[in-house]
Structure 1
Amino acid sequence: MPQTARWAGTPSIKGKSESMRMMLLTFSLVGLQFTWGTEMTYCTPYLLQLGLTKSKTSLVWIAGPLSGLIIQPLIGVIADRSRSKWGRRRPFMIVGSFVVAFCLVVLGWTAEIVNMFVKDPEKAKNVTIALAVSSIYAVDFSINVVQACCRSLIVDTLPIPLQQGGSAWAGRMSAIGQLISYVVGSIDTVSIFGSLLGDTQFKQMTVIAAFSLVAAVAVTSYSVKERVLISPRDSEGNVGAIQVISQLYQTTMELPPRIQAICWAQFWAWIGWFPFLFYSTTWVGETYFRYEVPKDDLAKSTDMLGEVGRVGSLSLVVFSSITFFSSVLLPFCVTSPEIKRSRFTPRPPPGIASFLKSLTKVRPDLQTAWFISQIMFAATMIFAPLAHSRAFATFLVAICGIPWAISSWAPFAFMGVEINKLTMNAAAAPGIAASSTRSGVTMITSASLRNTPAADTELEVLRLNHRDSDSDSDEEDPSSLNPNSNIPSTGELAGIYLGVLNVYTTLPQFVGTFISWIVFTLLEPGAEPDKDREPDTQWMNLDKDRPNAIAICLFIGALSALVAAEATRRLRYVI
């Protein structure tokens, strides 16, 4: 018989209230999303400004799915087996955040770094592009380390009744980070900071993003105490890279039916979300300068990259605001997956409690809400090719804030529930009721009662006894340090299964990249420079008679969202 994993220590989160603990647990996602927002807002126009065509720029964004496909599952398996005294997730989060910060600064100062070593202008241009692309790859690979561990930490720490709440809080923190990044990006930071953080908007945004990520990860790492893994489930000790890849492959090929269904819904959804997230800023900026700005005014700009970034960010400020309010309000209007009754029901603010109470009888479950969000996104992006003004483009982008809030929350909530159910089912002996309070965890299981309503709510619920930081630091329960505890930690398999979910999130990005490359190659190939236009504006497509390639990509993404909606609908019938 394989030996059950052994643990030491008591998991805990600082804070006097559940809301404060949830906020601290997910605070790292504020800095994480701020960094993603900065990259998605500025890097596409930055690469175009350096001289890459749109078709080549689309190929650069293979970095995102490639890093997610390789790093997140690999780090998930490695972190699952980590025996660090600091926990399984936080060491990777901290080291990864500093690597991201360094790479962001290099990305912002690529031209200056290259000019220190290369004096020939033409060669310097090519080396600058190469260094910028390499920096983007480095940022994406290292930030995926941080992201994988931030998500796994949430699943590790929370019991089943709080998985949806934890995912909802993660969505809120992500929305806050995204909103802040777009608000800051829409401001002329150079006029505020001068040359203190750099002489261009892009440089200053990379510095701010680097600081925000390190600070946010530090807050969560300080506030959360993890259990320490003494020995893994199978008692094999250290495993090599081949065994890790083999385990990941085997897990991906033998997914439980419900996890497989969740992953396929995510797969089709992300074919649609990929072009929106990476190109919407450039699309809004190009729409504005193509249809609303006279050509004579283009010559007056001294920082066209900053102008496009600010115009696009302003529209995404509205998008992020709607995402934030949706992520706050919608969890109160949606019932929890698989849990019919729970003592951990989230409480809305008193001002809206009466209104939400009237919706209780008709509120949908999370699966229905996810399905509706897919339909809403598809219905919105179908109109992207018809946008001929910044106002209409901004309106379409803003509407997508609602489905994005649900899409950032639903799959992780479903996965959190399924992962914990797998952990508990693996540890429970059939037909035997067990109760233990060792290691700060109470687990009550009964196979004979699994088909009863009580089993859905009170039994088979793994609860973590979080204690306030004061009591936790003063005195430890001796039993909580027992290395022979056989009680599994909730989320014991979180790393590998969330890694598999990320595989289904990143593979469609390869598909989206390939689609974008084809569209850009056909509709906006590299053209000869226009002598009537300033060099700083050559990278933008300002021809009103030519179709906007980004809008076509968004339209294709809308069609994929319809397939995702059908996959989400079928999730209800998967057992």
Structure 2
Amino acid sequence: MENLQSKKQASAMELESHRQSPPMPSPVKNIIFVASIAAGVQFGWALQLSLLTPYVQLLGVPHTWSSFIWLCGPISGMLVQPVVGYYSDRCTSRFGRRRPFIAAGAGLVAVAVVLIGYAADFGHLFGDSYTKSPKTGAVAIFVIGFWILDCANNTLQGPCRAFLADLCAGNQSKTRMANSLFSFFMAVGNVLGYGAGSYTKLYRIFPFTRTHACDLYCANLKSCFFLSILLLLFLTISALCLVREQPVNTVEVKESNGKGSRLPFFGEIFGAVKELKRPMWILLAVTCINWIAWFPYLLYDTDWMGKEVYGGKVHQKIYDRGVRAGALGLVLNSVVLGVMSLSVEFLSRKLGGAKRLWGVVNFILAIGLMLMVLVSKLADSSRRFPPGGGNEPLPPSAGIKSGALAIFALLGIPLAITFSIPFALASIYSNTAGSGQGLSLGVLNIAICVPQMFVSVVSGPWDALFGGGNLPAFVAGAFFAVVSGVLALTMLPSPTPNDQSAKMPTVASFH
């Protein structure tokens, strides 16, 4: 009996000692190592955006049906990130809270890449014909690999951001800097991914990728994903080996798990979400409205270049030229995104706080979307056709094309803030409330995924209501950008300096 009481007293003393001695922020080099994982993750996302939709159509899936495959992103984001975040907050592994989930995510990405890259080869083994379409077996393997890839990426991203928040130990300045670095490395991954996807002879580095079942396009896709997984594994292994994470205090985890009723699996998560404080709920609402503004651009940017700026139709050469010009615009967007990501902390101080910076750049987003409408009208009024007649128009003037590319670059400014400030605020608010970083960041991801599904479903009928094209969605996006800017400036609570020392929900010390 006395032995049991002494153990309880020792555990209580351990917990009280930890509460009185919060962890110190980690060195900047450790934050950089962890943030760099975003480059490997985003490399894969960029390849998905640029290569996988054409590839699945080559396997025989109609364009109309191929869009349904992309529902995997928001669905997995809504389910995987909150679940992984919740359990990473409570993980008592001797390797730490976040590192086991990051390692598992990287391993799943490797499995998914093999399934996607070798879908045609596996499909042939299962009976697919070289010449007939659709290649049913290949499509089945591809879809399985695609869903695993999206789930794996979501398993990686949430714990990475939570790990960064842990390393910052509640320091507001370092939290903003860490999320800015994460945004910067996302831009690096974008540039690498779009660059690799646009180079058509990359398969020569891996000559074994070309087979009877896998043509040049397929071999190039394999090679791109091989480079992607090599980069991701290198960055992940480096970060996990160089940035150590001590096991959390199991006493406090048990105390946290013991509060309230014990509900099975998702019941625990829903119960934890209900405990989120008012600042976090306001942040979720503003984020949701903000991403309703963003998704018309993110979903239709290159299509806008092909249709509205170049005046082409799908399958026309002029439309393809416009799409390629849009890909160049995305590279410019990523470069500006990277540069701006390194300026977030400076701009935040100059404008008097993170929420003010986020509010201001939402008005820049609204201006950019309205400029897309203006450039579209100018391109249409100056449309030229070949002298001998023809169905396809000539490319737009240099001024029109330059104006369109300038908009891509301009929107890199608010995108850098969107990729960093909301996540930094979520970490700061969760510190103040004593809630888990993983869960808070996972729930924030739901506020991003719901608008994506909403815009995907509504934008088509909305555009058709006004005669088709992408412009009605851009106008609606500009409206929601203004609304989110106003709400960010007026409704979001300003974190106080005292929040820096707010108690972390569980204990971790880093070397």
1:255 aligns with 2:276: yes
Measure the CA separation in 2 of the matches of 1:505 and 1:173: 20
Q: Which residue is equivalent to 1:94?
A: 103
Within the candidate set 472, 476, 488, 1:568 is matched to 488
Q: Which residue is equivalent to 1:177?
A: 189
1:225 aligns with 2:168: no
Q: Which residue is equivalent to 2:365?
A: 377
CA gap of 1:507–1:296, structure 2 versus 1, over 3 A, is closer
* SS class of match (1:228): coil
Measure the CA separation in 2 of the matches of 1:123 and 1:95: 35
Q: Counterparts in 2 of 1:413-432, with a 5 A limit?
A: 413-423=424-434
Maintained 8 Å contact 1:186/1:314: no
Cα deviation code 1:11-64 (max 9, x no counterpart): 8999xxx44233113111111121122212223333455455555333322211
1:31 aligns with 2:33: no
Q: Which residue is equivalent to 1:511?
A: 454
Q: Which residue is equivalent to 2:224?
A: 205
CA gap of 1:188–1:574, structure 2 versus 1, over 3 A, is same
Q: Which residue is equivalent to 1:143?
A: 153
- Counterpart code for 1:151: R
- Counterpart code for 1:73: P
Q: TM-score, normalised by structure 2?
A: 0.76
Measure the CA separation in 1 of the matches of 2:261 and 2:31: 35
Q: Which residue is equivalent to 2:387?
A: none
Measure the CA separation in 1 of the matches of 2:260 and 2:121: 43
Q: CA deviation at 1:69?
A: 0.7
Measure the CA separation in 2 of the matches of 1:413 and 1:40: 26
Cα deviation code 1:210-264 (max 9, x no counterpart): 2222222112111211121242152658999953422321333342111111111
Q: Which residue is equivalent to 1:160?
A: 170
Maintained 8 Å contact 1:78/1:244: no
1:328 aligns with 2:342: yes
Runs of at least 5 residues in structure 2 that lack an aligned partner in the other structure: 1-7, 211-215, 380-395, 496-511
* SS class of match (2:207): coil
Q: Which residue is equivalent to 2:412?
A: 401
Q: Counterparts in 2 of 1:258-269, with a 5 A limit?
A: 258-269=279-290
Q: Counterparts in 2 of 1:532-571, with a 5 A limit?
A: 547-549=468-470, 552-571=472-491
Q: CA deviation at 1:506?
A: 1.5
Maintained 8 Å contact 1:42/1:309: no
- Counterpart code for 1:265: V
Cα deviation code 1:331-388 (max 9, x no counterpart): 21222xxxxxxxxxxxxxxxxxxxxxxxx5xx34221110121111122123435445
Q: Counterparts in 2 of 1:290-369, with a 5 A limit?
A: 291=312, 311-335=325-349, 360=350, 363-369=351-357
Q: Which residue is equivalent to 2:385?
A: none
Q: CA deviation at 1:407?
A: 0.5
| Aligned residues: CA RMSD | 3.8
* Further displaced range: 193-202 or 212-221: 193-202
Within the candidate set 229, 238, 255, 1:234 is matched to 255
Aligned residue pairs, count: 448
Maintained 8 Å contact 1:281/1:312: yes
Maintained 8 Å contact 1:55/1:516: no
- Counterpart code for 2:248: L
Q: Which residue is equivalent to 2:144?
A: 134
Measure the CA separation in 2 of the matches of 1:267 and 1:502: 9
Q: Which residue is equivalent to 1:343?
A: none
Larger RCO (CA under 8 A, 6+ residues apart):
1
* SS class of match (2:342): helix
Q: Which residue is equivalent to 1:195?
A: 207
Q: Which residue is equivalent to 1:526?
A: none
CA gap of 1:224–1:141, structure 2 versus 1, over 3 A, is same
Measure the CA separation in 2 of the matches of 1:547 and 1:245: 41
* Further displaced range: 4-13 or 196-205: 4-13
Q: CA deviation at 1:497?
A: 1.3
Measure the CA separation in 1 of the matches of 2:313 and 2:61: 25
Measure the CA separation in 2 of the matches of 1:513 and 1:12: 43
- Counterpart code for 1:270: W
Measure the CA separation in 2 of the matches of 1:229 and 1:564: 37
Runs of at least 5 residues in structure 1 that lack an aligned partner in the other structure: 299-303, 336-359, 424-491, 524-545
Q: Which residue is equivalent to 1:73?
A: 82
* Further displaced range: 134-143 or 196-205: 196-205
* SS class of match (1:225): coil
User: Structure 1 or 2: larger helix share?
Assistant: 2
* Further displaced range: 313-322 or 174-183: 174-183
* SS class of match (2:248): strand
CA gap of 1:422–1:295, structure 2 versus 1, over 3 A, is closer
Q: CA deviation at 1:498?
A: 1.3
Q: TM-score, normalised by structure 1?
A: 0.68
- Counterpart code for 2:190: Q
* Further displaced range: 378-387 or 108-117: 378-387
Measure the CA separation in 1 of the matches of 2:309 and 2:59: 21
CA gap of 1:407–1:4, structure 2 versus 1, over 3 A, is farther
1:494 aligns with 2:437: yes
